[in-house]
Amino acid sequence: MDQPRQVSTAVEPLLEAELSADYPGRPGVLDRVRFTVQSGEILGLIGRSGSGKSTLGWALPRLLELRGGRVRGTLRFAGRDLLSADSATLRQVRGRELAFVPQSPMCALNPALSIGTHLREAWRAHSSESWTAARDRFVPLLESMALPLADSFLRRRPGQLSVGQAQRVTVAMAVLHNPKLLIADEVTSALDPASQGLILDLFRHWNISLGMAILFISHDMASVARLCRRVALLEAGRLIETLPGEAFSVTNSDAFATCAELTDVRAR
């Protein structure tokens, strides 16, 4: 089986962050969370519900403000300071170089637009090449994600898809432009075991063949151990420790209990 890419730490990280985040009435949701992601690395982020994992996922592409949050600290991506970047720069970076797949696909997709329109608009947002000219090149991508290619499927609205299909559509939209970093927030949680394995294999393939770095946010210890070389442990908005991925090769089916046990040990 192919292994995730080995990465070098001798150069500037692809992403370097030290972030705090607040919501109205909820200060300190993230408290000086400091970590890096190297080019071509797969970093896992784990933690119990409410630890701040999804908040961090939304904060990195500067989308937390859209949910009423506020982000402070340092955020550098591919040599840019994203916290001081203007809206035009953020539009250029998001989707093309830094892609985000949120936890809830039904909230990420516009219920009024067809699946084909979602894919076309995701492409047109960052390319001057017409979708008609580019479309055939993305047929293998949709096939690899077990998404139907029939026009009848592409004409469907998100509400006509299963949750698993909708999640795979959001992943396909995120990787259309081969981003440098993919932030994937619980993208396998709504999938059956076969589809979970499919997505994990695709993540590994994109990492190896394209050099795509991935921040894999999950509470599924088996998936984290299978995919990630490093794992960051988040607890109550603070980064407790970063460990090698093999430390999470557990057989305990209760991922939350395992995470809680590890958190308690590391916090002592």
Structural domains counted in the chain: 1
Q: Which domain holds residue 200?
A: 15-108+178-267
Element housing 184 (H / E): strand 181-185
DSSP E strand boundaries for 2-128: 15-23, 26-37, 42-46, 70-77, 80-81, 98-101
- Asked if residue 19 belongs to a domain, the reply is yes
Residue 131 lies in a domain: no
246 DSSP assignment: G
Tens-place pLDDT, residues 40-77:
999 999 998 899 999 999 999 999 999 999 999 999 99
CATH number at residue 96: 3.40.50.300
Q: Is 165 inside a domain boundary?
A: no
Task: Supply 53's token pair.
Answer: 């994992």
**Are the C-beta atoms of 168 and 146 separated by less than 8 Å?**
yes
Please, are residues 33 and 206 in contact by the beta-carbon 8 Å criterion?
no
Mapped onto helix, strand or coil, the DSSP state of residue 200 is helix
What average pLDDT score do residues 201-228 get? 93
Q: Flag whether 145 is in a domain.
A: no
> Torsion-angle region of residue 73: left (phi > 0), alpha (psi -120 to 50) or beta?
left
Closest CA to 182 of 95, 64, 121, 74: 95
96 within domain boundaries: yes
Q: For 103-154, what is each residue's pLDDT tens digit?
A: 888 888 999 999 999 999 999 999 989 988 888 888 899 999 989 888 999 9
Q: State the pLDDT confidence band at 30, using cuts at 50, 70 and 90.
A: very high
Strand pairing category for 230-235 and 15-23: unpaired
Q: How far apart are CA 173 and CA 121, in angstroms?
A: 9
Answer yes or no: is 154 within a domain. Answer: no
114 located within any domain: no
Asked if residue 84 is part of any domain, the answer here is yes
Residue-level pLDDT at 246: 67
Choose the weakest-confidence range: 122-131, 226-235, 255-264.
Answer: 255-264
Answer whether residue 3 shows pLDDT above 80. no
pLDDT in tens, 72-110: 999 999 999 999 999 999 999 999 999 999 988 888 899
Phi, psi of 259 (to 5 degrees): -65, -40
